[in-house]
Amino acid sequence: MRPDEKGWLQEYLDFKKDALKDLSQKKRGSHPEHSLYRIIQPTGLMYGQNVGHLDYPNAENWSEKDKMKILLAESLISSSLLFYDKPVKTPEELSQVFLKTIENIGNFYNNIFPELAIPGKSLFGKKRSPLELAEKILDKRVERTIEFQGNFWTYFFHNSLLFLDVFIFGQWIHTNADRIVADFFRYERDELRFSIVKVIAAAAHSDNTVDFEERKMLELFIQSSDLNTERRKEALTVFDKGIEVEEINLPSENSWILKKFFLEIAILTTWADKKVEQAEHYFMKRFCSYLGLSEDDLDNSLIAIEGFVLEHWEQLDYLQDKQDYNQVSEDFIGRISKIAEKNKTRLAKEIQEREVVSALLRKARTEELSAEENERIRHELIDILKTIPTFVIISLPQRFLTLPVLMKILPKNLFTEER
């Protein structure tokens, strides 16, 4: 597949058909927004990054924009399938769902992003298929992002707005796309973008000092957000004076995934100067409360961000220096350890039910495992950790979780109790 060539979207659908079919037939017990978060967050799309694993031949040779285009297409399609409220039983039904999803992508951008609009007919009067229309619009949308420039914050605030595309699309597909509805969603798009400005400003002022890095972040965001002149002036005023959490005025009906997005933007803003002060910790707790989220939600978002950074450290090494890496590692391991301790009984039961795992773990306490045993027990332990409800939503960093790290995470008395 070549994302820079005509026909890439059809090739994507053909390549991912089985995976998308599984997604459309997901268990109905999980909340669609939780499932969408688990898909999107590890890819980096929420943070404007494209470092997530792309399971395609020759993906390592793609440009940064081509990778981002595939992630955006995958996120939009996943959102549509996750919120589809009927089970898909036949290949014909699956094809119809795909067709409707592709039509929705084209209609969505043509209605809500008029600056990206693509005519339904070519210059020669030939009608474009929904697939052609969606492909051209996605090409055009990603062209408005920026190329990777070796700076996490530049990339974050130029490209994280793609997440708002996915969020608004998830709402829009359930409406009748008339002019009044389109006007509402265009208004919502602008309001949500300005809400990000207020969240950044509140987080930046939380330690009573606006650092150079934080001010630079706002400038980068304003450049990318298409705010009109009046709103740009308002944004700069808000950032200069600061804003209290209670004055942010986010809509009360915000969804869970949108709240998580705002929370994680606030967390990353406090990371900009590479040192999180006590006042910033206090701010994050207040912000969580304002959003109607719990301290567990805050811990889970910290785990998600720390895990993302640790998993992709080679690509994100410009984000933190070596000492910060050690601190992030310690914080992450500490948070996971607390969750493992709380779920000690569940973990012990899972281990007891897997005889090979139990035997290998006892062996690992006293002698060195072979490379094959090491890798097997590592994968088994990660699978066991995934049985904890927290990690049904949060993706665990597979590469970072080596066996020595996992042994630090598991409760120390787990095996004593097992006997």
Residues 208 and 77 in one domain: no
Residues 316 and 265 in one domain: yes
- Could you give the number of structural domains in the chain? 3
Residues 159 and 34 in one domain: yes
Say what the pLDDT of residue 26 is: 58
Say what the pLDDT of residue 59 is: 80
Residues 46 and 191 in one domain: no
CA–centroid distance for 317 within its chain:
19
Residues 271 and 217 in one domain: yes
Say what the pLDDT of residue 322 is: 43
Residues 160 and 185 in one domain: no
Residues 308 and 348 in one domain: no
Q: Could you write out the DSSP letters of every residue in 111-159?
A: HH-GGG---SB-TTSPBPPHHHHHHHHHHHHHHTS----S-HHHHHHHH
Of 167, 189, 211, which closes a domain?
A: 167
Residues 49 and 126 in one domain: yes
Q: Residue 9, Cβ neighbours under 10 Å: how many?
A: 24
CA–centroid distance for 153 within its chain:
16
Task: Please provide residue 127's backbone torsions phi and psi, each rounded to the nearest 5 degrees.
Answer: -70, 130
**Contact present, 108 and 174 (Cβ < 8 Å):** no
Residues 161 and 310 in one domain: no
Say what the pLDDT of residue 185 is: 87
Say what the pLDDT of residue 47 is: 83
pTM listed for this prediction = 0.85
Q: Let me know if 236 is exposed, middle or buried by CB neighbors in 10 A (0-12, 13-18, 19+).
A: middle
Say what the pLDDT of residue 241 is: 83
Residues 305 and 399 in one domain: no
Q: Let me know if 341 is exposed, middle or buried by CB neighbors in 10 A (0-12, 13-18, 19+).
A: middle
Residues 200 and 116 in one domain: no
Residues of the chain with pLDDT under 70: 24-30, 51-53, 146-155, 157-158, 176-178, 211-214, 216-218, 220-226, 251-254, 272-276, 315-323, 414-419
Say what the pLDDT of residue 221 is: 66
Q: Let me know if 217 is exposed, middle or buried by CB neighbors in 10 A (0-12, 13-18, 19+).
A: buried
Say what the pLDDT of residue 342 is: 93
Say what the pLDDT of residue 418 is: 45
Nearest Cα residue to 101 out of 185, 192, 21, 180: 21
Tokens of 60: 């390592």
Residues 223 and 350 in one domain: no
How do residues 195-235 score in pLDDT, each as one tens digit? 888 888 888 888 777 766 667 666 766 666 667 788 888 88
Say what the pLDDT of residue 148 is: 52
Amino acid at 403: L
Rounded Cα–Cα distance for residues 155 and 50 (Å): 10
Say what the pLDDT of residue 419 is: 42
Of 167, 194, 226, which closes a domain?
A: 167
Say what the pLDDT of residue 309 is: 83
Of 264, 296, 320, which closes a domain?
A: 320
Residue 172 in domain:
no
Q: Could you write out the DSSP letters of every residue in 361-396?
A: HHHHHHSPPPHHHHHHHHHHHHHHHTTSTHHHHSPP
Residue 229 in domain:
yes
What domain range includes position 410? 335-418
